[in-house]
Structure 1
Amino acid sequence: MEKIMLPLGRRLKELRKERKLKQKEMARFLECTDRNYQKMEYGEINVPGLTLIKLADFFQVSLDYLVGRSDDRER
């Protein structure tokens, strides 16, 4: 069975790769385990609101863009 990436996971992966970062580096930034971050990209866990804000600030994109509610990256 093929996994379907949720908009948040797709955006996280896309933004991370644009900055040439590894999942391990993102996990360190978020102070979580590598596996926990990987689960965020795969859409296997619900990401807390404060973590979403931290990620949007880090990538300098709007929260709506990050979660897939908008295609406009501007804040």
Structure 2
Amino acid sequence: MVGKIIRKLRIEKGITQNELSNYLGLTPKMISFYELSERFPPYDIINKLADYFNVSTDYLLGRSDIKNPEKLLSDYSNLSTDDLKVLEECIELKIKDK
């Protein structure tokens, strides 16, 4: 799963495996191994990938569908109390539907 996510993020950003490998200090072949799930990136590479693509490590590892929860929360910091209350109610309804 991690490999598919890395590939998806790389393509979304419009960069090549070579460009990503240069940023990470790896060979393009290693990026290929990661994307094909032939190798699993070590934790330091996971952190670098998360920083580079501006996503959480949970998203990168397939544990969350939210790319960047901190950004999501900051986007709501300017909402009024009434708007936050409506948003909270919508979230509670969505959770109950599951």
TM-score range, shorter chain: 0.7 to 0.9
Matched, 1:33 2:23: no
Specify the code of the residue in structure 2 equivalent to 1:24: N
Structure 1: gaps (5+ residues): 1-6
RMSD of aligned Cα (Å): 0.9
Specify the code of the residue in structure 1 equivalent to 2:39: I
Larger relative contact order (Cα-Cα within 8 Å, sequence gap ≥ 6)? 1
Partner of 1:4: none
State the identity as a percent.
Answer: 36
Structure 2 distance, partners of 1:20, 1:74, is: 19
Q: Which runs of 4+ in 1 moved over 3 A?
A: none
Shift of 1:32: 0.9
Structure 2: gaps (5+ residues): 70-98
Specify the code of the residue in structure 1 equivalent to 2:22: R
Higher helix share: 2
- 1:14-36 C-alpha deviation (Å, 9 max, x unpaired): 11011110011111111111111
Q: Pairwise mapping of residues 1-75 of structure 1 onto structure 2 (< 5 A)?
A: 7-75=1-69
With the length of structure 1 as denominator, give the TM-score of the two structures.
0.86
Larger radius of gyration: 2
Structure 2 distance, partners of 1:13, 1:46, is: 13
Aligned residues: 69
